[in-house]
Amino acid sequence: MWIISFRKDNQAFAAVYAYTRGARAPLYEAILQRVLQLAPDLKNVELIVSDFERAPRKACKALFPRAKLQGCLFHLVQAISAYWADILKLVKLQAPREAKFLSRSLGLLPPELLTVGIDVLEEVTQSHTTNFPELLRFIAYLRRQWLWDTEWTSVYGSAIIGQIMILKHITAIIRLESVALVSPFLYPFIRNLQEVIENESIKLQRLNNNLPISKIKKEKELYNRDMCIMKVQEKLLAQVKTGSVVLSNITKKAVYDFLRECLPPKIQAKIDEEHGKCFPRKRSELQNSDFLELADENEEYGVKKKRKARRQHSAISSSEQKRQEKKILSMPQDANGTVESEINHDWDVFEYLLLEGHG
């Protein structure tokens, strides 16, 4: 699902929903061209925040050549967390997590300081690489994956928390992992998507009427997070004296303090708890209940834990399959016709409901 959202009065709204499979740049361009047909005044776009797939990036560059293209902090944190946990298995090994925590603030650095930020993470991991050589692979991954285009990786100067919250909210409702054309989850998917569209329309109407669109407490929390990050960024750049010091000369300690101060207070507290601790290498067979990890440390950034796979149906033998086929085909006809006609009739009704907009 490709979702295009926009911001108005510091609020994010999802406006375009495109369900694609194996999409390439020409398809993304066709979607954007259709959007421009529906909204012809959408021309003076200044900033586009996208995930890190190259196909939509190429399409955005083709149709909005003057807009600044920038990565998304949500997808950056999601990718780094997945590599740490799923590829390197460092969660199961109970490795020290300071480098992982600090890596979440990498995208908040100006593009010129991303290399320095990864150098800081490398120094943080040096005392633990003997027991956890996977940390060396983690640093190599950060350099290889996120330094090839620092202007795209850095989200410096753009809206942060609001973009994360809208992606986290919508993907949780739609539940895209359950969708397939022949899946029994098709009807819930359409119904949930229709509900999301209606909710976004109501939110925009309330904003136009100067009414609150979310809980005041939540709005204040998101606002405070954004303000905290902006203050830390201003503090970092305040060390640059015009004409005498450049960004590349900022000390590593200043960059470390920046990465740390951009984190929520409870994550900073966990870093303090790990300082001075001994981290012997653990067996990878540890159970989930033994993980040394906060329950909501990733959810704070919109990275949801993967749902457990549903129980799979046992395989049906070929003889049983043939027996069931014979049983179905031998069903007597009734006044409405055969079994096949009933199936075709159901699909006709389904297509009619979709065309009429009933979902």
In percent, how much of the chain has pLDDT > 70? Answer: 65
- Kindly tell me if the per-residue pLDDT of 180 is higher than 50: no
Mean pLDDT to the nearest integer, 130-148: 94
Lowest mean pLDDT: which of 49-53, 193-197, 259-263, 330-334?
330-334
How many whole angstroms separate alpha carbon 126 and alpha carbon 326?
67
Strand, coil or helix: what is 176? helix
- Kindly tell me if the per-residue pLDDT of 82 is higher than 70: yes
Lowest mean pLDDT: which of 47-51, 167-171, 238-242?
167-171
Write down the pLDDT at residue 102. Answer: 96
Residue of higher predicted confidence among 168 and 77: 77
- Kindly tell me if the per-residue pLDDT of 178 is higher than 60: no
Mean pLDDT to the nearest integer, 82-97: 91
Per-residue pLDDT reduced to its tens digit, 263-317: 989 999 999 999 878 888 876 444 444 444 444 455 544 445 555 555 554 555 6
Mean pLDDT to the nearest integer, 117-121: 95
Write down the pLDDT at residue 306. Answer: 54
How many whole angstroms separate alpha carbon 134 and alpha carbon 90?
7
- Kindly tell me if the per-residue pLDDT of 211 is higher than 90: no
Write down the pLDDT at residue 83. Answer: 94
Read off the DSSP letter of residue 76: H
How many whole angstroms separate alpha carbon 34 and alpha carbon 58?
16
How many whole angstroms separate alpha carbon 67 and alpha carbon 60?
9
- Kindly tell me if the per-residue pLDDT of 242 is higher than 50: no
- Kindly tell me if the per-residue pLDDT of 142 is higher than 50: yes
Written as one letter, the residue type at 161 is: I
Write down the pLDDT at residue 240. Answer: 63
- Kindly tell me if the per-residue pLDDT of 143 is higher than 90: yes
Contact 200, 15 (CB under 8 A): yes
Contact 266, 294 (CB under 8 A): yes
- What are the residue boundaries of the structural domains of the chain, listed by start? 2-70+159-213, 96-156+218-295
Lowest mean pLDDT: which of 103-107, 138-142, 235-239?
235-239
How many whole angstroms separate alpha carbon 124 and alpha carbon 83?
18
pLDDT band, very low/low/confident/very high, at 348 (cuts 50, 70, 90):
low
Per-residue pLDDT reduced to its tens digit, 190-203: 777 888 888 888 88
Cα-based distances in Å from 350 to 276, 340, 355 = 63, 15, 9
Report which secondary-structure segment, H or E, holds 6: strand 2-8
Mean pLDDT to the nearest integer, 102-124: 93
CA terminus-to-terminus distance, the chain: 17
What is the greatest pairwise CA distance in the chain? 91
How many whole angstroms separate alpha carbon 306 and alpha carbon 249?
41
- Kindly tell me if the per-residue pLDDT of 21 is higher than 80: no
120, 151, 193: which is closest to 49 by C-alpha? 151
Lowest mean pLDDT: which of 29-38, 56-65, 228-237?
228-237
- Kindly tell me if the per-residue pLDDT of 56 is higher than 70: yes
Residue of higher predicted confidence among 292 and 1: 1
Residue of higher predicted confidence among 353 and 138: 138
